[in-house]
Amino acid sequence: MSAQEDIYTHGHHESVLRSHTSRTAANSAAYLVPHLTHGLSVLDVGAGPGTITADFARLVAPGQVLGLDRAPEVVAAATAHAAELHLNNLSFETGNIYDLDFPDGEFDVVHAHQVLQHLTDPIGALREMRRVAKPGGIVAVRDADFHGMSWYPQLPELDDWMDLYQELARHNRAEPDAGRRLVHWAQAAGFTDITPSSANWLYATDEDRAWHAGVWADRVVHSAFAEQSMAYGLADAGRLQELSDGWREWGTAPDGWFLIPNGEIIARV
Ligand SMILES: C[S@@+](CC[C@H](N)C(=O)[O-])C[C@H]1O[C@@H](n2cnc3c(N)ncnc32)[C@H](O)[C@@H]1O
């Protein structure tokens, strides 16, 4: 399998996009926002449905913002959403992070959110991001760290969900514990000026818990997570349904807590 044939563990089912479209620059890229000044050009790689990308366009206008994704269906969704926003400095295209179709030094900022964890060659991807960033520009990356996640109550179904998620991602030769590896990957890609940080997503209010539980209860039975788990022989429909029920049970716990740590780096070119 070549890097270009990487398998994306989540796919783009509604239950996945429900999660990704909730993302904003404020809740997912606060570490980068202070660097985004008017007039900068931004490339957002693996932009998905592009809600973070659209916020970037507002922050750097009139600078141009381009969102890129390998999946044409999500590029179409992002393009349709962007048309409703009437942001004339925002566009979306298909493209591959390993082989960006741009000259060297094209963008002031090159960003990827929750993308490197899905790749078989995150260091190669960072090298390519660095190539298209201007000298003095920024490569900004943020990824969750799955084994760093913690939750309460300690339901066995959630432990089993974590075990299956790890097994599935690793079957796709990806690295779900990406957050803790970002500095290492950036150093290996040749960066020497790296500013690390971290920020959490927390689901612990009734509203946030219900939302997060609903997303995962649906994802484990309806999304590519379910299809790939069964196709690889890692889980059957019965186990997936138990995981889904476990997520729903967690979502009704009045004292429920789910913490997702994210690693972040600002790497200067
Ligand atoms: C977890 S989603 C993140 C989407 C968005 N950045 C966000 O945070 O909402 C990862 C995205 O990376 C895309 N992707 C995976 N491999 C890619 C590659 N080799 N080149 C470009 N995009 C890729 C997937 O199609 C998916 O839309």
d(CA 254, ligand 1 centre) in Å: 33
How would residue 4 be classed by pLDDT, with cut points 50, 70 and 90? Answer: low
The distance of Cα 83 from the centroid of its chain, to the nearest Å, equals 23
Assigned token pair, 200:
């959490």
State the average pLDDT over residues 232-238. 94
User: Ligand 1: which of 6, 17, 70, 172 to mutate, judged by most atoms within 8 Å of the beta carbon?
Assistant: 70
1 pLDDT tier (thresholds 50, 70, 90) = very low
Contact predicate 250/258, CB 8 Å = yes
pTM (2 d.p.): 0.95
pLDDT per residue over 133-191, tens digit each? 999 999 999 999 999 999 999 999 999 999 999 999 999 999 999 999 999 999 999 99
Structure-model confidence comparison of residues 228 and 179, the more confident one: 179
Residue identified by tokens 């429900």 is: 18
Segment 101-116, tens digit of pLDDT = 999 999 999 999 999 9
Per-residue burial over 78-104, b = 16 or more CB atoms within 10 Å of its CB, e = otherwise: beebbeeeebebbbbeebbbbebebee
Number of CB atoms found within 10 A of residue 62's CB: 9
| CB of 69 sitting under 6 A from ligand 1 | yes
Among 2-6, 54-58, 120-124, 237-241, name the one with the lowest average pLDDT: 2-6
